[in-house]
Structure 1
Amino acid sequence: MIDIATLAKQSGIAAHTLRYYDSRGLITAVSRSGLKRVYADGVWLNLRLIHLGQKVGMSLQQIDAAFGLSSQIAVRRETFNLQAQAVAEQIRHLQTMQALLQHLSACAHAQHLDCPEFQALLNEVLPQQQ
């Protein structure tokens, strides 16, 4: 068992954030010690799953739906498949931006706007508005 103050200190998550997670059902206090909420040791798993979801760009609602934190933990694979596709798209976009920056640092053209490779990369990163 761990009280909210200790959990906040050990996890690095502010107590008000932990209370918010509790109000959303993402974590659940098992009792109170005076005015302090007390959590079972299993709360660490939920916090790790929340952190994982946030790292890959999921909202708390998506995290809850994917892991079933407010009910029984049950992996929703379709949610992860969609998020994996979104992460893959972000990676492709970042790789194109990296190529653009690397090209800019090594481009032999006096003016970048005269460089066809720069123009092509720019159009990939930021397509022209129609």
Structure 2
Amino acid sequence: MTQTTIIDIGEVARQSGLPPSTLRFYEEKGLIQSTGRHGLRRLFNSNVLQRLALIALGQSAGFSLEEISAMFTAEGPEIDREQLLAKAAELDENIQQLKAMRDGLLHAADCPAPSHLECPSFQRMLRLAGKGQLKRRQKSTRR
């Protein structure tokens, strides 16, 4: 069993790299809990650092704070493997869309057409953007 120590919000901020305002916000949202106060400074168990790392990892993977919050139980993190697979599939879709966008931009940059507006690949990207398909694709992958 690992021994936890009590650290104040300043030390948590220093070790996690998060500003105290973010720590207070996470506490307000129920993502972390302080154990009390020393004067005006919130106190936390040192295991809050692992929890903050899990939150950061979840956010990096594209999970919302609400989704991350649902992964925490009184016993600790409980991560649904199906949810991880769904997020991985979503990331794969984002990667494919970003690759297609990159390839289109690279082509437009090297296109021998006299102007970008005469480039067929650039025209296709414009049509998709004009129909809102680019934004819809990006938004649907952020949910």
Give TM class, smaller chain. 0.7 to 0.9
Deviant stretches of 4+, over 4 Å? none
Counterpart of 2:129 in structure 1 is: 126
The two structures have a TM-score, normalised by structure 2, of 0.75
For structure 1, the residue ranges without an aligned partner over 5 or more in a row are: none
Which of 56, 81, 86 pairs up with 1:77? 81
Counterpart of 1:40 in structure 2 is: 45
The two structures have a TM-score, normalised by structure 1, of 0.81
CA distance in 1, matches of 2:114, 2:73: 56
CA distance in 2, matches of 1:43, 1:95: 37
Number of residue-to-residue matches in the alignment: 128
For structure 2, the residue ranges without an aligned partner over 5 or more in a row are: 1-5, 134-143
**Using a 3 Å threshold, how does the CA distance of structure 1 residues 69 and 53 change in structure 2: closer, same or farther?**
farther
Is 1:113 paired with 2:120?
A: no
Counterpart of 2:138 in structure 1 is: none
Is 1:98 paired with 2:99?
A: no
Contact 1:26 1:64 in 2 (8 A): yes
Counterpart of 1:16 in structure 2 is: 21
Among all aligned residue pairs of Structure 1 and Structure 2, give the percentage whose two residues are the same amino acid. Answer: 37
**Using a 3 Å threshold, how does the CA distance of structure 1 residues 125 and 58 change in structure 2: closer, same or farther?**
farther
CA distance in 1, matches of 2:84, 2:18: 24
